[in-house]
Amino acid sequence: MNAIPWADALAALAAPPAAPPATDVQALLRRWHPDHQAGASVPLRVGASAGQACPPPLAALLHANTLIDDTDVAGCATVDTGLLVIGGGGAGCVAALTAAAAGVKVVLATKLGLGDSNTVMAEGGIQAAIGAEDSLQAHFDDTIKAGQRAGDPALVRALVTEGPAAIRWLIEQGMSFDREEQGGGAIRLRRKRAGGTSVPRILSTRDVTGLEMMRVLREAVLLHPNITVWNRSPVVELLSDGAGRCRGAVIYSLYLHRFVLVRAGAVVLATGGAGRLHLNDFPTSNHLGATADGLVLAYRLGARLREGDSFQYHPTGVGWPASLRGQLISEAARSLGAQMRNGHGERFIEELSARDVVAAAILREIGEGRGVERDGCLGVLLDTPGLERAKPGVLAGSLVSLLHLAHKSGTDPAREPMLVCPTLHYQNGGIVVQPDGSTDVPGLFCAGEVSGGIHGRNRLMGNALLELVVFGRRAGLAAASCDAARLGRANLDHVQDWRRALAAAGLPLEVRAPMLFPEVANFSMAADRALGRAPVLAAG
């Protein structure tokens, strides 16, 4: 693939750029966005959403057999609780805190450790319509438009309407936001523009907003007497009561090397997305546990999916060095005025266009030979030196994560631009939910990235953090009202129905899911279970 060498691109960067040309957005997306490339999707063959388009690696997991049989859990320990929350990121923590505040006993099981999630990687900020020049209607319109009008209006309405209350709630939990002086010595929360928005609406903590949010939520969860946290406890199957209701889950304890049955009045899935499937062979910003577990288990139990073929590729992933690919340069840099330039020094897209548009434009520049090549890595330039010249001190004052990444690569972003290229970042679709987080399966709720319908086919920066608060609270409150007094049966009967469906569709029973961990983790459940069966040798 042709590209402009790094040295030539640096020389071209010296010339002041003209405004970017007008763009036919729909034509750009159809030609260059990864979701629309040949082979990017296949139809699902079984389940409640059979016939819908889905990326092949995700479809393979959704078509898979369960990891366990009745014999695997016969006689294993059983724990009863009012609510089981699966996932220890932002959405799971908010749901657990909300239910616990309502007096419900909560078990929160997380695959890694509490807070090890995509939430901490949300650098840019959180959206909420709190400015005098803003409105709930403007936030609604921006969100619907950015999602290519595929979002569920009822879900978007809930998201934006509860935005201001979500910010107040976070501040009450102890979260800190950037502030700025107004006339007369008054102080207000600082607001920035995000790509695809009509007014400045982003509230942030420098470019570490998700990390600050997760710090506050994690502390609140650990201190709450109604919440018990199980770290290193991935879910391997949901439980049903024989009548289609979710009644808990089978958890695999990486500490005990064995299964534990958790019977619950309700379950909240907050398992995040599917970035670690590396769709279309892209690097990903997602954490180690983002392997679509919640989608797989909810779908097997009968929940429907929507927009399962729609994923967000963040425009400004690190393009060079190769060792840092998959890490993000926050959209905050473009919000503050950083321009993007191709190998000829040209601006090729309005930097604060919606993320899907910017990502597709970058891929177009690379594909048509106007990208930049450095040590075999391809991308375009993020003009951080130009930003620093325009706003002296902005890198150190507002973009600490960008500085950290630049220093890890051995460069000074005030003197040298950064090479950027799109990175697989977010699952736009997911499980079909109602405004209270409920799914088609009674007793099963979802919050956060695992749920679909809010973002349509593209997500605005800042709406992910808002979503996990708004719908974490809604799902936690609705799940807390489920009757846990008589738990009754909790079994794997639905698994037999699923296996019959797989066989009828001619799909192999040897393929099993959820994945739990990507291949790089080198994890084998069979080998791990063997540790639990090994005899304990006395010391000495």
Q: Are 202 and 462 in contact (CB under 8 A)?
A: yes
Q: Which residues pair with 293 in a beta bridge?
A: none
- Rg from Cα positions in the chain: 23
Nearest residue to 151 (alpha-carbon basis) of 307, 371, 362, 360:
307
Nearest residue to 147 (alpha-carbon basis) of 453, 467, 423:
453
- Residue 198 identity (one-letter amino acid): S
Which whole-number Å values give the CA distances from 180 to 35, 225, 281, in the listed order?
Answer: 40, 37, 42
- Residue 192 identity (one-letter amino acid): K
**DSSP line for 455-484:** STTS--TTHHHHHHHHHHHHHHHHHHTS--
| 3-state percent helix, strand, coil for the chain, nearest multiple of 5 | 35, 20, 45
| Strand pairing report for 53-54 and 311-318 | unpaired
Q: What is the rounded CA–CA span in Å between residue 61 and residue 296?
A: 7
Q: What is the rounded CA–CA span in Å between residue 325 and residue 378?
A: 11
Active site residue 355: yes
**The one catalytic residue among 355, 370, 374, 474:** 355
Show the tokens assigned to 516. 């739990």
Show the tokens assigned to 207. 């470019």
**DSSP line for 231-279:** SS--EEEEEE-SSS-EEEEEEEETTTTEEEEEEEEEEEE-----GGG-G
- Residue 109 identity (one-letter amino acid): A
Q: Which residues pair with 444 in a beta bridge?
A: 267
Could you write out the three-class secondary structure of 73-102? Answer: HCCCCEEEEEEEEECCCHHHHHHHHHHHHC
Show the tokens assigned to 253. 């304890």
Q: Are 42 and 54 in contact (CB under 8 A)?
A: yes
Q: What is the rounded CA–CA span in Å between residue 411 and residue 10?
A: 14
Q: Are 421 and 379 in contact (CB under 8 A)?
A: yes
Question: What spatial distance separates the first Cα and last Cα of the chain, rounded to whole Å?
Answer: 64
Q: What is the rounded CA–CA span in Å between residue 323 and residue 123?
A: 20
Place of tokens 């192999």: 508
Q: Is the dihedral of CA 87, 90, 91, 96 positive or negative?
A: positive
Q: Which residues are catalytic?
A: 355
